[in-house]
Amino acid sequence: MKRFTASLFLLLVQTTNGHAASFKTNCCNVENAPEWLSSYTLSDIATEMESKLHWSIRRVKVVFHNTNQSFASASNLNFIAAAFFSPSRQAIEFSPQKDLAEFTPTFRHELVHVISNQKFKDSIPRWLEEGFANYIGSKRKVDYKWLAKQSLPKASQLSHPSTDDGGSKMHYQLSTATVEMIAGTCNFDDLLMLATGSKLTNYLETFCKIKDLDSSVAEWVVKKSNGYAVPLSPINFAFYLWMIQISFKK
Ligand SMILES: [Zn+2]
């Protein structure tokens, strides 16, 4: 049974088929969507990312796989991923998603890849791409404590999570740490505006005063990791003891 819904901004066509639905929004042709995902929710997420990155997405295909096996054979990745974006097919493909809470950050992440491909083209270098998608999209945190214990490859030599010698975890963590370092040094939004049509790296030295990216990232990782294990000074220690005593007296 087909149901047609029109709104001022969206023309949504939704067909229901048991637990799966296919529908079309401004950003996406969605196939086999889980029942908890409405076209409106998907549109809201896409609109937020479009507004954040000042871009109207040219419609992409969004496909939900029913099984991990079917997703794995479509993705051909050598590490566990929740989704991937294929630039050649302009398609986002999802592994089976549990619920909206799991789906939302992943969808945001993949939409950054879509916009990076459609708007920034090759302005965003490969070593920055995953960090960029994590930082802007999924807001995944960097485990600086873990990174600081690793032998760090050069951030500027990162290529792809499935091919880098350091493995996919290193790729995502170091790339995201690099974006955090850049964003902590200069205005990342301004940098992105400048980068449209040109290499973002061309602006790093001029606007962010980052002369040597690799050594700057390595220093940044050490600095951030120290925040996890700040030794207590005698004054702080005495203060905490005093607080504990007060809370026991109450
Ligand atoms: Zn990604």
Model pTM score: 0.81
Give ∠ CA 137-10-192 in degrees, rounded to 5: 30
CA of 18 to the centre of ligand 1 (A): 30
What is the distance in A from the centroid of ligand 1 to the CA of 85?
Answer: 8
Q: In angstroms, what is the span from residue 160 Cα to ligand 1's centroid?
A: 10
Sign of CA dihedral 38, 41, 43, 49: negative
Pick the closest to residue 184 from 135, 231, 140 (CA basis): 135
Start-to-end Cα distance in the chain: 65
List per-residue pLDDT tens for the chain, 250 residues long.
444 444 434 444 444 444 579 999 999 999 999 999 999 999 999 999 999 999 999 999 999 999 999 999 998 877 888 999 999 999 999 999 999 999 999 999 999 999 999 999 878 888 999 999 999 998 788 999 999 999 999 999 998 888 888 889 999 999 999 999 999 999 888 888 877 766 788 888 888 889 899 999 999 999 999 875 444 444 444 544 554 454 445 4
User: Among all chains, which residue has been given the structure tokens 């879509």?
Assistant: 114
CA of 131 to the centre of ligand 1 (A): 8
Go through the chain and tell me how many residues it has: 250
User: What are the two backbone dihedrals, phi and then psi, of residue 31, each rounded to the nearest 5 degrees?
Assistant: -120, 135
**236 C-alpha to ligand 1 centroid (Å):** 42
Q: Look at residues 109, 139, 110, 118 and name the one whose alpha carbon lies nearest to residue 55.
A: 118
Distance 86 CA to ligand 1 centre (A): 11
Ligand 1 centroid to 234 CA: how many Å? 45
Number of separate helices (H) and strands (E) present in the chain? 10, 7
All domains of the chain in start order, with CATH = 1-120 (3.40.30), 121-230 (no CATH)
Distance 90 CA to ligand 1 centre (A): 14
Alpha-carbon torsion (164, 67, 108, 123), positive or negative:
positive
CA of 248 to the centre of ligand 1 (A): 49
Distance 223 CA to ligand 1 centre (A): 26
| Residues near ligand 1 ion, CB 5 Å cutoff | 130, 133
